[in-house]
Structure 1
């Protein structure tokens, strides 16, 4: 009996200690969480009536290469049914932007809510197509794009996921594996993996790796916008809403993980005020620290808070 009690004590101690260590390892540094609005927001908007981009919508994307900033965005005629087309702009400071004279740079298919990563000299774009179906496009110059097609996402048993939207794709590449985060009707975030970008298989027993709540700021709907790795920890930027009123007011938030599966939301969320209605956030390094951009409806900039 004494041996049993001692063994039980050791087991409980180990569980408690491991939980404590895990909690201690998940940190939310100020450089990723404390920002102040730029005084001259917005820094990028639609050109308005008379132009191809009467309005812009959903997540745009900023990619910094050296001292050069790329910006991709979705423009449309302002109607719900209007074709969502891809626009491109560039900048040397991440604040003042020059639009491509070729805009829209892609209009063969519906493209919105995109993200871009560069791998072995090729730009890979993952975006929503029509009816919020995630798709893949590629480019060798960041401007001219070729559509590969919709993403083939499977359940863990190899069968296709149930019909319906699967959008706001976020892709991460590490150790010869591609990871896809996606949402379904903003009701949760799922994770799938692929060795070759052809077939994506769900992880986590087909269950979402993050759900809305329990706090009010994301109690009704969430969607992931970006993943970065900083000092050995993965950080997710996501947006959420309480949907307490119409139209819904969205906030930009952050969560962290050590393994891509188990995520802890920052207790200081949201990073933006609900009344600002800023979503589709991105953390972009400026060479010294991170800037926080929000991309939906217009591009706003939040600068690092002084130490």
Structure 2
């Protein structure tokens, strides 16, 4: 099965690369990347959130956490663990009134029944929906009515376009979007590309785009080896994808955070000014978060760093 997966990924990669190059040529003139989504400077008091360290349940934090403004609050969900590769990844929660200074929940970890990492959250009809990686990078769904107490629904059921289950193996870093009564799921497989599936009810997700990824690594050096999607936003009628990538030229891999845009969720153009972060900074898992007047840019792997609009003063 492992050899079969390798062959499948190789074929899909080269097919998608050809499609990607053609789309970028056709669509580049239609896509814009405004300064409010691309021009940021580091906040002078980073990090704004980090693990508590030895002696605590969150010796380290890792991968994508999630920040969501709601009313006067900012929610922050994050993954804490004992620092070992095999250590159970547990869910933590904190809140803030300004998106900079955070108060940890006294109930942390708020969920530790199952492995939870690399999560994102959206709210629909009064319910918070979390999509996250479980153990072995299997995408899963959890729900909550108060943002703190979570119930696991289960692993996501993702199918090929013919209705058969996708090949065995990891499918992680889920990003879910809802529009026009349709649910959209973006996911990666071994960071070799980003696939898109849809569902009317979040129960069964079916691949689109002929089972080919909608984005693959490269051709730029900054993401020529591996990519994963972090976030999707819609701004002035255009979809923008925040994703991270690496050249993986050395171990451990150094990741950058990047931007791409699309008019239809299928055909993506990468920002010519990528990466948004320096490779040596190793800042990934980026999020663009509106604060009512502008976008802030957060990176969240290892620690949470804030980046403010380039034309604003550091606070």
2:17 is matched with none
Distance change in 2, residues 1:130/1:20 (3 Å): closer
Match of 1:178 among 183, 206, 213: 183
Deviations 1:137-190 (A, max 9, x none): 000000000000000000000000000000000000000000000000000000
Q: How many matched pairs?
A: 290
Tell me by how many angstroms 1:21 deviates. 8.6
RMSD between aligned residues = 1.3
Tell me by how many angstroms 1:25 deviates. 2.6
**TM-score relative to the length of structure 1:** 0.93
Q: Give, in whole Å, the separation in 1 of the partners of 2:136 and 2:219.
A: 29
Match of 2:296 among 278, 291, 294: 291
Question: How do 1:142-221 residues align onto structure 2 when only pairs under 5 Å count?
Answer: 142-221=147-226
Which protein has greater RCO, CA pairs closer than 8 Å, 6+ apart?
2
- Contact 2:51-2:59 within 8 A present in 1 as well: yes
1:301 is matched with 306
Tell me by how many angstroms 1:68 deviates. 1.0
Structure 1 runs, 4 residues or longer, greater than 4 Å off? 19-22
- Contact 2:192-2:227 within 8 A present in 1 as well: yes
1:275 is matched with 280
Q: Give, in whole Å, the separation in 1 of the partners of 2:184 and 2:29.
A: 26
Residue 90 (str. 1) matches residue 125 (str. 2): no
Name the SS for the 2:36 alignment partner: helix
Name the SS for the 1:59 alignment partner: coil
2:37 is matched with 32
1:225 is matched with 230
1:253 is matched with 258
Q: Give, in whole Å, the separation in 1 of the partners of 2:27 and 2:83.
A: 47
Name the SS for the 1:299 alignment partner: strand
Q: Give, in whole Å, the separation in 2 of the partners of 1:273 and 1:55.
A: 22
Q: Give, in whole Å, the separation in 2 of the partners of 1:45 and 1:170.
A: 23
Tell me by how many angstroms 1:66 deviates. 2.2
Q: Give, in whole Å, the separation in 2 of the partners of 1:219 and 1:136.
A: 30
Q: Give, in whole Å, the separation in 2 of the partners of 1:88 and 1:212.
A: 32
Name the SS for the 2:176 alignment partner: strand
Question: How do 1:226-245 residues align onto structure 2 when only pairs under 5 Å count?
Answer: 226-245=231-250
1:111 is matched with 116
- Contact 2:262-2:268 within 8 A present in 1 as well: yes
Distance change in 2, residues 1:20/1:128 (3 Å): closer
Long gaps (5+) in structure 1: 1-18
1:13 is matched with none
- Contact 2:27-2:269 within 8 A present in 1 as well: no
Tell me by how many angstroms 1:22 deviates. 4.3
Deviations 1:188-242 (A, max 9, x none): 0000000000000000000000000001000000000000000000000000000
- Contact 2:28-2:269 within 8 A present in 1 as well: no
